[in-house]
Amino acid sequence: MNDKIDSRYDVAIVGSGYSGTMVAVHLARAQRGLRIALIDRGKAFGRGVAYGTTDPKHLLNVRADQMGAFPNDIRHFYRWLQTHPENLAAAGVRELRGDAFIPRLVFGDYIQDLLGEACALPGILDIIHDEIVDLRPRENGWFQLIGKTGSKLEAARVVLALGNFPPGEALQNKPGERVWFMNNPYSAEVHAKLAEPGDILIIGTGLTSLDLLLTLDKTKREGKIHLLSRQGLFPQPHKKAAPYPTFLDPDNLPKTARALCHDVAQELRRAAAQGIDWRPVVDAIRPLNQAIWMNFNPTEQRRFLRHLRGLWDTHRHRCAPEIMAVKERLEAEGRLVCHRGYIKGYQPTEEQVEVTYRPRGTSEEKKLRVRYVLSCTGPQADYRKLNDPFVQQLLARDLLAPDRLRLGASTAEGGQICNQEGSVINGLYTLGSTQKGRLYESVAVPELRGQAAELAARLLADLEK
């Protein structure tokens, strides 16, 4: 930590991606003279993983006029863009439209701007660059936070805004072996390796893999890109359409995955008969997604994950059409080959690795010979399998417990963190992907902006008691 060490704060927020930063912004804007610490191990405060990219080809997957940081003003980002043409120009955007998909780095500029404004308000908002490795409850109900350097600070309330972790993968490069397996899709070093001549394999066909294609389109001159996933499902591209009315009754939501499927399929048929696209139908239930999930019992939640997750995620988390166009062009040029199947094994040699996989729906085995394999299978959400020192320490102290579906942490209403027994830990809060087990829909700005505002309001009320 820097010279702000050994300080006492009303609220310490660990993680300065969108979520943690917006909690700090709301607290500072309330102007109650609070002492707030915003701590991150990375240097790009306010950006986090998603908006820390420097590649202007990496676009938001939500339209500009829907990406406002405040739940009561979703056009706020769009208006900010109108008054900051220099940020758009620097990212190569010549024309601003409300329905455009803006480079993610510009959204990062916006959040950093909000953070800068918040720091200038009365009260204390300290930006602390360090990795927190331990959290110790004190007898007086406060917490002590320990930085990687051994430095300490104390806080009355702590918010864990830790975001997503790298993809989980049991594979490790063996000592002395050429590095051929990688699992950090956001690392510049990994990008450089993938651009080397020779074929490569990316496992996973989600939004992160599509991002990589945009980067590799520019950097990879020799060798094919192979993409492989079990279901071979890609995020669907957005398409403009008029909003569709809510068709589920909030007071009588489906109780099973099968009933949900039935209701949505029926509505899709109805919409199709009127020439309406499926997208607004899916969007119409978004405000109810968390309620639907919470209405399922654990067996139904598991059933949903087993049978519907892939389909749901690729239709719900869509991509900008420009991005899908690049994927299709790369395929047409023969630079990209997409596979559907299950990996059976890897055989690394000096120069290459032979990957054996079974194409879906067959019993045959096929082989790919590639230089590198990158796992892009989505963040590891089973905290017990993470080798993150802070998370391991939290688990050991029973200040964090996996939720029963291993989608995140065990949490209660309002983002309170629960221990292994399910009891709320006073003073310890979270938001974002840690809440996926309880809410499922808890990863994108349209949900996180509400969570950040609500958590800040709760902290303010709590501190006033």
Q: Could you list the residues that contact ligand FAD (CB under 6 A)?
A: 14-20, 39-42, 48-50, 60-62, 104, 131-132, 161-164, 207-208, 211, 390, 432, 443-445, 448
112 exposure class (CB count in 10 Å sphere: 0-12, 13-18, 19+): middle
Block residue for tokens 């045959």 = 364
Q: Of 236, 238, 234, whose CA–CA distance to 338 is shortest?
A: 234
Block residue for tokens 């509400």 = 450
Helix (H, G, I), strand (E, B) or coil at 290: helix
Specify the residue, 25 or 368, whose C-beta has the smaller distance to ligand FAD. Answer: 25
Residue 182: CB partners within 8 Å, gap ≥ 6? 190, 193, 372, 373, 374, 375
Q: Please report, in angstroms and rounded to a whole number, the separation of the first and last CA atoms in the chain.
A: 30
Specify the residue, 131 or 199, whose C-beta has the smaller distance to ligand FAD. Answer: 131
Over 428-451, what HEC string results? EEECHHHHHHHHCCCCCHHHHHHH
Structure token pair of residue 118 = 């918040």
Least distance to ligand FAD, CB of residue 39, Å: 5
Residue 1: CB partners within 8 Å, gap ≥ 6? 39, 128, 129, 130, 147, 149, 151, 153
d(CA 43, CA 158): 20
Q: Of 233, 228, 311, 199, whose CA–CA distance to 265 is shortest?
A: 311
Least distance to ligand FAD, CB of residue 162, Å: 4
Specify the residue, 62 or 125, whose C-beta has the smaller distance to ligand FAD. Answer: 62
Least distance to ligand FAD, CB of residue 144, Å: 15
Least distance to ligand FAD, CB of residue 292, Å: 20
Angle between helices 445-464 and 18-29 (to 10 degrees): 40
d(CA 458, CA 465): 11
Specify the residue, 129 or 302, whose C-beta has the smaller distance to ligand FAD. Answer: 129
Specify the residue, 126 or 300, whose C-beta has the smaller distance to ligand FAD. Answer: 126
Least distance to ligand FAD, CB of residue 444, Å: 3
* 24, 168 Cβ separation under 8 angstroms: no
Residue 452 DSSP one-character state: H
Q: Of 326, 22, 47, 394, whose CA–CA distance to 186 is shortest?
A: 47
Specify the residue, 48 or 254, whose C-beta has the smaller distance to ligand FAD. Answer: 48
Specify the residue, 53 or 301, whose C-beta has the smaller distance to ligand FAD. Answer: 53
Least distance to ligand FAD, CB of residue 166, Å: 10
Over 85-104, what HEC string results? HHHHHHCCCCCCCCCCCCEH
Least distance to ligand FAD, CB of residue 24, Å: 11
d(CA 346, CA 349): 10
- Ordered alpha helix ranges (H), 229-256: none
Specify the residue, 66 or 419, whose C-beta has the smaller distance to ligand FAD. Answer: 66
Block residue for tokens 């496992």 = 203
Least distance to ligand FAD, CB of residue 399, Å: 13
Specify the residue, 341 or 410, whose C-beta has the smaller distance to ligand FAD. Answer: 410
Least distance to ligand FAD, CB of residue 433, Å: 6
Least distance to ligand FAD, CB of residue 101, Å: 8
Specify the residue, 216 or 368, whose C-beta has the smaller distance to ligand FAD. Answer: 216
Block residue for tokens 């720091």 = 119
d(CA 441, CA 293): 8
Specify the residue, 154 or 211, whose C-beta has the smaller distance to ligand FAD. Answer: 211
Beta strands 35-40 and 124-129 are parallel
Least distance to ligand FAD, CB of residue 457, Å: 18
Least distance to ligand FAD, CB of residue 50, Å: 4
Angle, vertex CA 109, rays to CA 107 and CA 114, nearest 5: 95
Specify the residue, 211 or 300, whose C-beta has the smaller distance to ligand FAD. Answer: 211
